[in-house]
Amino acid sequence: MNQTLSIRRVAGALGAELSGVDLSQPLSDDTIAAIRQALVEHQVIFFRDQTLTPAQQVAFGARFGPLNIHPYVTGMASQPEVMEIIKEPSDKINFGGGWHSDMSFLETPAVGSILYALELPEYGGDTLFASQAAAYDALSDGLKRTLEGLSAVHSASREYAPGGASAQKRGAMQVAEADGLVGEFVHPMVLIHPETGRKALYVNPAFTLKIDGWKPSESKALLDYLFQHCRYEAFTCRFAWQKGSVAFWDNRSVWHFALNDYPGQRRRMRRVTVDPWPAMAATARVAAE
Ligand code: SIN
């Protein structure tokens, strides 16, 4: 189906709300291309008033790439690619409650995440997004030159190891703890976006352990500086969810943070996570070298 999109930016650095499209319908290649163009341009895009079954969310997500099955969070029995992100009133911590980029701990990190809101607290529960392209642009030329030769080690070990924030037991989500075999993967600290050519910082406080080849104390000093810099408010936007809202973000250039400011209330979302097409992954690696 061909649909005409309207696009309204929501903040200076990133974020746009798209209207005029029903994501539950089979969409034409032109409409998918327009959504993809909006995503790479605005880095995170939002839709309102959608009604999606898990199968429809999978069908929409699969137009952008193969869907990831999360290695630690059990997906829905009927659709393992769909992860339910649920905070029960009795849960103290939420999932995604810290700045991160989804799945940077994998050898081939996810390119996009599509989150759909089913049930929201009466207040709170917004998600923050931060443009890592804007964060890169704001660095001095000297630091940009330094970073371009560097890579960083990413791993799920800290977050998903016993006691890690992401591995904490929750009322309704099944999250496995990482065992001793969890991998470490090295990614360039500056990614060149394979579709726009724009550069973005690619380190995050949840999954980046250290700068490859640096002493721990040297690595900590620079990463601490970058983690502070990368969340400066001018690089961010904030999304206030309503039932039926969808956010679609580009993990190659965006951090996000699910706010945990609604104690005693329930929030239920569904996420599908898009992996790169194999050819695109190869391009991203070559471009970043
Ligand atoms: C996530 O990190 O994917 C969760 C974001 C949210 O629940 O707002």
Residue of minimum CA distance from atom 1 in ligand 1: 96
Q: Under 8 Å CB-to-CB from 213, ≥6 apart: which residues?
A: none
Tokens of 261: 């400011």
Q: What is the CATH number of the domain that holds 168?
A: 3.60.130.10
Enclosing domain of residue 168? 6-284
Q: Place 279 in a pLDDT band, splitting at 50, 70 and 90.
A: low
For ligand 1, pick from 57, 113, 267 the residue to mutate: most ligand atoms within 8 Å of CB: 113
In this structure, is residue 289 part of a structural domain? Answer: no
Average pLDDT for 114-139: 98
Residue of minimum CA distance from atom 3 in ligand 1: 96
In this structure, is residue 165 part of a structural domain? Answer: yes
CB 14 within 8 A of CB 131: yes
Please give the share of the chain, as a percent, with pLDDT higher than 70.
Answer: 93
In this structure, is residue 49 part of a structural domain? Answer: yes
Residue of minimum CA distance from atom 5 in ligand 1: 258
Length of the chain counted residue by residue: 289
In this structure, is residue 65 part of a structural domain? Answer: yes
* pLDDT computed for residue 250 by the predictor: 97
Average pLDDT for 141-148: 96
* pLDDT computed for residue 181 by the predictor: 65
Give the whole-angstrom CA distance, residue 150 versus residue 146: 7
In this structure, is residue 233 part of a structural domain? Answer: yes
In this structure, is residue 191 part of a structural domain? Answer: yes
For ligand 1, pick from 85, 239, 246, 262 the residue to mutate: most ligand atoms within 8 Å of CB: 85
Per-residue pLDDT tens digits for 186-223:
999 999 999 999 999 999 999 999 999 999 999 999 99
Question: How many structural domains compose the chain?
Answer: 1
Average pLDDT for 152-170: 81
* pLDDT computed for residue 165 by the predictor: 72
- Residues with a known catalytic role: 100, 102, 256, 271
Give the whole-angstrom CA distance, residue 18 versus residue 41: 13
Per-residue pLDDT tens digits for 82-104:
999 999 999 999 999 999 999 99
In this structure, is residue 120 part of a structural domain? Answer: yes
* pLDDT computed for residue 288 by the predictor: 43
Looking at the predicted structure, is the pLDDT value of residue 227 above 90? yes
Residue 35 per-residue DSSP state: H
Average pLDDT for 133-141: 98
- CA of residue 186 to ligand 1 center, whole Å: 24
Per-residue pLDDT tens digits for 234-261:
999 999 999 999 999 999 999 999 999 9
Higher-pLDDT residue of 269, 174: 269
Give the whole-angstrom CA distance, residue 190 versus residue 179: 29
Residues with CB under 6 A from ligand 1: 85, 95-96, 102, 113, 115, 127, 256, 258, 269, 271
Looking at the predicted structure, is the pLDDT value of residue 153 above 80? yes
In this structure, is residue 178 part of a structural domain? Answer: yes
